[in-house]
Amino acid sequence: MSDLDERCASLRAQITATEAQLTGLKRELASAQEAAAAKSNSAELSDNQQVQSKSASRWPLLQEEYKRYGRQMIVSQVGLEGQLKLRAAKVLLVGAGGLGCPAAQYLAGAGVGTLGLIDGDTVEVSNLHRQVLHRSHNVGKYKVDSAIESLRELNPHPTYIAHRTHLTPSEAPRIFAQYDFILDCTDNPATRYLISDTAVLLGKPLVSASALRTDGQLMVLNNPPRPPGDKQGGPCYRCVFPKPPPADSVVSCADGGILGPVVGTMGVLQALEAIKVITAGAGNGEAQNTGTGAQQSPLLHMFSAYSNPLFRTIRIRSRRTNCAVCSAEATVTLDTITSGSTDYVFFCGSALPPSLLAPDERISAREYNEKYPGSDHGSQGSSASPSHTMIDVRDKVQFGICSLGDSINIPISNILASTSTGETPSWVPAGLAASESNDPIYVVCRLGNDSQLAVQRLKELGLDRGGQRYIGDIRGGLRAWREQVDPEWPEY
């Protein structure tokens, strides 16, 4: 047995070393590809300039561009002047996912001259229902490469720049400096603050959007862009949200779910707001809502797919006098960002999943399956094993998608809403509360996070009878069940 343990340890060490080497190789490849793309884009830009110079003596746009953009150029707020502003604009989209795909699609279609996309993720099957630039045959490919492939087919005129990496504080200023306008198409608080801080300090207007489940929100920030301390500048993300949400309250699309058209709506609106800012003052239309700056109040647009009306708009405050970035008392600078002194992960809280239970309060999916081999795990509604109780704390919708056959559903929201008042909560099954049995209780969720909270609350309510009854969770949740026990278990 010791030989097997040593062999396993050796293999794990080799895997760790190989993964580290692979990570380094991927980083080198990304750098090389970025350099090659920059060279290619430079050559492409030179070719385009040569083509345009041939007709520059008479018409500022190519004949094909007049045909392509004609329907938007005859809109009074755009005109030829606005189209030329779009062609001269350099826009960076941070994120090539649910928000970035539709935003990039409409910006490319509108004729923005240079579009940069930064994202270190690769395309997954679960992305395809909402990330509309990606295709099934591009699963496993860098998202930025997949997106640019589709964008080139849509419009070959713009220059596309791929940044195959996750945005980091050390690289953000260097990358942002290459562009005029930023779109925040990300989905986590730490990156949002980094994007906003960098945009303010470099004088770049920013459109920030988010979407989750059936809701979304949108803001145009740092517009007009002014140096820190200038009260005429637009507010930044910290002005609107000076404190980040609690780390354990942040829900991702993977956990909370998302409707494709919801995130698509917000991405399209991001493109619209960017076009409005870029073309401000062009054409013969009425005064623009953005771009002229101080006389316009900043707004927060909120979208809810199942509400009536669908949209609500509220005014948000101007720059805070004590903002850490855009006020006269600013403490965040480009140096503090690039040096790491401004720690975004610490500011927003740890993104790591919680580890709330002791090792002896947790059991692996494989160990549970071996301990109770007689339980019917294949279908919902079978009779529970008499030797234990399995509680599934996912919501009813997820429980309806798939569930262990011997489990009962008690949503985590119900469990956390109860308090230790001495009375047994109504959600506790009558048989479980009244029984004098000390048969163990196991808790399972999707990923093994909510189940830990549920175990703690069950013990606080006294269901462990002072330690006489075992209460623990399935480590890693139903995802671990799929990996360790049943490979045919639905992955969603």
Known binding-site positions: 98, 119, 126-130, 143, 187-188, 236, 239, 323, 326
Of 101, 185, 253, 402, catalytic: 253
Beta partners for residue 115, in sequence order: 91, 160
Residue for token digits 């640019």?
148
Q: How many Å separate Cα 133 from the centre of its chain?
A: 16
Nearest residue to 124 (alpha-carbon basis) of 137, 135, 139: 139
Helix (H), strand (E) at residue 482: helix 477-484
* Strands annotated E in 61-169: 90-94, 114-118, 159-163
Give which of 230, 225, 174 is closest to 200, Cα–Cα: 225
User: If we measure between CA atoms, which residue out of 233, 219, 235, 224 comes closest to residue 299?
Assistant: 219
Please say if 185 is a catalytic residue.
Answer: no
> What are the binding residues for Zn(2+)?
236, 239, 323, 326
Are 484 and 366 in contact by the 8 Å Cβ rule? The answer is yes
Q: Which residues are annotated as a binding site for ATP?
A: 98, 119, 126-130, 143, 187-188
Residue 445 annotated as catalytic: yes
Q: Which of 101, 185, 348, 445 is catalytic?
A: 445
- C-alpha distance across the termini of the chain, in Å: 37
DSSP 170-232: TTHHHHHTT-SEEEE----HHHHHHHHHHHHHHT--EEEEEEEBTEEEEEEES-S---TT-TT
CA 178, 183, 185, 189: dihedral to nearest 10 degrees? Answer: 90
Enumerate the active-site residues: 253, 445
